[in-house]
Structure 1
Amino acid sequence: MPTPALSKEEQIRERILCAAQQLFQQHGLHKVTMDDIARALGRGKSSLYYYYKSKEEIFEAMLDREIREVLAEVEQAVALAPTVEEKLYTFCMTRLQKQRQKAALNALVAGEALRSLDLVHHIRQCYRQQQADLLRQIFAGAEGSLAACACPHSVEALTVLILAGLRGLGEELVFSDSLALVEPAIRMLCHTLAAAPLLPAPSQPSS
């Protein structure tokens, strides 16, 4: 489907986010001012406040946009994969590919998290939740031993395992800068999960 045309206000917001992202990645959030963003756009600072109340709000909107773009690409790629194992593999590989492509942005977010954890924490939590929701959709279509939709306990355990594994593989990717080195680990992880037995439901404490 063709992407719907942006309204004039949406176009202005997009230009603000693009200009701000370049400045943030060059100088860091704490060094960039609303004046800097306005100058980069060739606009008066007062006009920015019509769209965003602060540079922090711009920063959050920028991250939200980037997350939505990444998740949309991951979801599209997953939809084309034929089996659950391939869907899990595609989810992991596409997710890491996008992480690698956005290395400068990831470094910015990591730096700002050290200065202001609250600013980044909410967005990271939302990102994790949306990834988990997509994984649950994949599991919902599983068959055989990975029919985890029949056991919510297994769904949550596998979701935690995959997201934690991706964080670790993402760190390896930062050090090695080579998807070819982490790809076999991703393939092994997905193959293992595709053959994973269901977990028993947690026992209820006796009254």
Structure 2
Amino acid sequence: MIFENPIGALLLFLRETGNTFYMVFVSTLIAIIIGMPIGIILVITEKGGIKENLKLNKVLGTIVNIGRSFPFAILIIALMPFTRLIIGTSIGTTATIVPLSIAAAPFVARVIESSIKEVDKGIIEAAIAMGSTPWEIIIKVLIPEAMSSIILGITLTIINLIGYSAMAGLVGGGGLGNIAIQYGYYRYDFSLMIVTIILLIILVQLIQWIGNSIAKKMNKK
């Protein structure tokens, strides 16, 4: 029980909280690198977009929809051979980053797409009238104007990944979910499970507060 060895429990929580941060934020970064270009392409290639290409738009949209269709518990198992090929193992904290990133990338793509679609069409038309190139419109108009909404979307992505990382404990992924599964469930130490749940709630609330604060600052700018 946690009360019988508080120092050991504290060290365990510190280690696994660090693992959770590591998994979630590296996965978020990779998902942004993959998902942001896809989201931008989905917007500019749609009907009436600045680089209309309906075939490419349909293909990318289908890929994104397929990627979002897999429950994470199934995805993490299905990707084990791919994870083993890249990382060398399918078990552990670092290995979990692969399925987390792949699960989050389609979500990020849709977040970026919906955020950019909120940009006032008049601003885009004004940029086109001034002779801006498609690249300049993307970098200087679409992304800056949508940044507040993008920040909120990325915040939601991080929160979802915290939940996914907890499920990764089922396959020895490490993090707070690993405490809940390995110690709370398998060893019947429900005090550890309760503390884990409280920490996850605090972590989610903290991330949401930070995301909201940044988004408000970006919106004022």
- Is this a same-fold pair by TM over 0.5? no
Query: TM-score, length-normalised on structure 2?
Result: 0.29
